[in-house]
Amino acid sequence: MIRDVANGRTLLTDEVIEKLLQLIQERGLKQGDRLPTEAELTELFGVSRIVVRESVKALSFFGLLNTKTRRGTVIGALDMERLGRCLSFQMGISRYPRREILEARTTIEVGHLELVSRNLNDAGIAGLMGAVEGCEAAARAHDPDAFTEHDRALHSQLLEIGGNPILVTFCTLLKQYFRPAASHACKVGDMPAVAREHRGIVEALRDGNLLLAQGLLLKHLQRAAASEASAPEAGRSAAAQTVSTEGAR
């Protein structure tokens, strides 16, 4: 039984958070299921209502718990966007080596194409080609904002077509985690070449040539890595006419 001590509330809160997570697992609670009441949790854990409230509030911050009127506290869904922002901040202050981030990005994206190839249908091909054509039009118009928008749409569609909900959740988190280092500088003059790479990848998938698609994507990411490695830390801004071409979205 956990004892409530005035100067140890933070520690107690951490312990109760662990106890709550353990309770949820042991009882097999799922999203939408109710937790025991605050009074029941207070008695079960042997702590004050304040500690229970702080613990529930901490888990609610990331969406794991939700307090609803007349229903009490129910199991929620992890807020990937909020968690991603925290991880993105951690990435920014930790200065992970670019090489390691780009290696992870390459492994995930190239491997993911196998799932895309299995699930690709006419509607998926049409959506991917629409994004490619949007990139090409933006490149012709020298419009970096539109290029970035269509580039993101392309990679988001590839993720959706893969159809693995676990991977979708994982990559939704990684898109924020990779953002500071996974994006590479793409000069406006290079946009037509990037768009051609996108078209080649999509056409290979359309034709059922997975190995070619993976090879083209690998080459695409290697060029991105070379561009990222050669780009200076400062100066990757609008003045340098760059756009963010992100792969892990």
Q: Is the pLDDT of residue 162 over 50?
A: yes
Closest to 35 measured CA to CA, from 48, 51, 22:
22
> Which pLDDT score is estimated for 246?
45
The 10s digit of each residue's pLDDT in 28-87 is 999 999 999 999 999 999 999 999 999 999 999 989 999 888 889 999 988 877 877 777
Does the 6-75 domain belong in CATH 2.40.100.10?
no
Is the Cβ–Cβ distance between 85 and 176 less than 8 Å?
yes
Q: Where, residue-wise, is CATH 1.10.10.10 in the chain?
A: 6-75
Does the 81-245 domain belong in CATH 1.20.120.530?
yes
Q: Is the pLDDT of residue 101 over 90?
A: no
The 10s digit of each residue's pLDDT in 119-132 is 999 999 999 999 99
pTM of this prediction?
0.63
Closest to 106 measured CA to CA, from 229, 8, 205, 225:
225
Q: Where, residue-wise, is CATH 1.20.120.530 in the chain?
A: 81-245
The rounded distance, in Å, linking the Cα atoms of 22 and 218 is 42
Enclosing H/E stretch for 94: helix 80-94
